[in-house]
């Protein structure tokens, strides 16, 4: 039961991350301006009168509020709530397993860490709405979702019987962990690009605005405590600041790609790692391709959502690879 629940929770976490990206890209994050309900109701259907009034006040359905956007937001909340219940069940099962001799190998600490993570994630989800999409909160919410997915992926793969990859694979273990850290930083940078709406600031490839080093303002671009579209001093966030955000993410993508290409070339020479090399390589190539497609398509909605989904899948694969490398050989 624990194995089944953890597998379902991992897949649902992936869905929640992708749906969350869709909500963000559809500018539906304020479709319901309160939390956890929608205008104090359990669904947009029950809040239809309030939504109609809000739409009338903003003058059209093109603003942040509409019945469609309210449903987008609430479906995401329903899915996230279901995931929270599953994680609670996993924690309860792990606590109960302490008293059963047959379940001594069942994880005890990780489900509790997951429960704390999802509680914090719920708080970030609330603050995302109540603080009106403050960039640092929205980015932390994205990081929290990815962290939940990564922890669930680790918990789930623990339930499957994997053989040790052998001593020849061990020298690459530390480098794989370093690669995971690089990937986590890059995903965070991607979240910062998205929450600041800087994805289309550089619309050309491989240069940015026709230059390798465009004019950039890192100071204001990476100020964490500020409102959306503003500096910490309350002024309009400059074009140069948005350029710095986007350019840094691009450079990060190149660093991560070069690192993992080098790791994969080394790993492919180890027989036990060839399968993992193909899986990680395919996930990396997909993410790079979709990222380039984002620029070429000028942030087409489907491509942009696929970019988030590919990042989540790459994270899962790298987490599972690190678990496989952590299994010690007995010979």
**What is d(CA 12, CA 132) in angstroms, rounded to the nearest whole number?**
26
Answer for the pair 152, 13: CB distance below 8 angstroms, yes or no: yes
Q: In the chain, which ranges are continuous DSSP H helix?
A: 2-25, 48-58, 67-97, 109-130, 135-158, 173-195, 218-221, 239-267, 274-296, 301-326
Q: Which residues contact 28 (CB under 8 A, 6 or more apart)?
A: 64, 68, 69, 70, 72, 73
Supply the residues annotated as catalytic: 73
Q: What is the pLDDT of residue 330?
A: 44
Q: What is the pLDDT of residue 329?
A: 56
**What is d(CA 5, CA 281) in angstroms, rounded to the nearest whole number?**
29
pLDDT tens for the chain, 331 residues long, are: 899 999 999 999 999 999 999 999 999 999 999 999 999 999 999 999 999 999 999 988 888 999 999 999 999 999 999 999 999 999 999 988 755 545 445 688 999 999 999 999 999 999 999 898 899 999 999 999 999 999 999 999 999 888 889 889 999 999 999 999 999 999 999 999 999 999 999 999 999 999 999 999 999 999 999 999 999 999 999 999 999 999 999 999 999 999 999 999 999 999 999 999 999 999 999 999 999 999 999 999 999 999 999 999 999 999 999 999 998 754 4
Q: Which residues contact 253 (CB under 8 A, 6 or more apart)?
A: 186, 288, 291
Q: How many CB atoms lie within 10 A of CB 224?
A: 12
Number of residues that make up the chain: 331
Render 122-141 in DSSP notation, one character per residue: HHHHHHHHHTTS-HHHHHHH
What's the chain's Rg over C-alpha atoms? Answer: 21
């Amino acid at each position: 039961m624990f194995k089944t629940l953890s597998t379902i929770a991992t897949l649902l976490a992936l869905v929640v991350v992708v749906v969350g990206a869709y909500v963000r890209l559809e500018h539906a994050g304020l479709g319901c301006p309160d939390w956890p309900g929608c205008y104090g109701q359990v669904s947009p259907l029950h809040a239809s009168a309030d939504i109609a009034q809000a739409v009338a006040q903003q003058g059209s359905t093109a603003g942040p509020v509409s019945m469609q956007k309210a449903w987008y937001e609430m479906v995401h909340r329903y899915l996230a709530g279901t995931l929270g219940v599953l994680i609670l069940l996993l924690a309860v099962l792990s606590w109960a397993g302490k008293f059963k001799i047959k379940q001594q190998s069942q994880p005890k600490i990780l489900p509790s860490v997951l429960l704390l993570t999802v509680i914090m994630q719920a708080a970030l989800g609330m603050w995302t709405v109540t603080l009106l999409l403050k960039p640092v909160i929205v980015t932390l919410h994205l990081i929290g979702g990815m962290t939940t997915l990564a922890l669930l992926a680790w918990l789930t793969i623990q339930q499957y019987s994997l053989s040790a990859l052998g001593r020849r694979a061990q020298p690459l273990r530390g480098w794989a962990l370093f690669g995971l850290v690089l990937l986590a930083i890059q995903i965070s940078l991607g979240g910062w690009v998205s929450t600041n709406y800087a994805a289309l600031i550089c619309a050309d490839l491989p240069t940015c605005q026709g230059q390798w080093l465009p004019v950039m303002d890192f100071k204001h671009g990476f100020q964490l405590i500020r409102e959306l579209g503003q500096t910490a001093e309350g002024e309009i966030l400059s074009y140069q600041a948005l350029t710095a955000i986007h350019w840094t993410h691009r450079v990060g993508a190149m660093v991560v790609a070069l690192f993992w290409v080098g790791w994969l070339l080394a790993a492919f020479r180890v027989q036990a790692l060839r399968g993992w090399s193909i899986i990680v390589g395919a996930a990396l190539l997909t993410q790079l391709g979709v990222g380039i497609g984002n620029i070429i398509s000028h942030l087409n909605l489907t491509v942009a959502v696929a970019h988030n989904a590919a990042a989540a899948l790459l994270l899962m694969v790298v987490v599972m690879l690190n678990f496989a490398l952590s299994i010690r050989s007995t010979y």
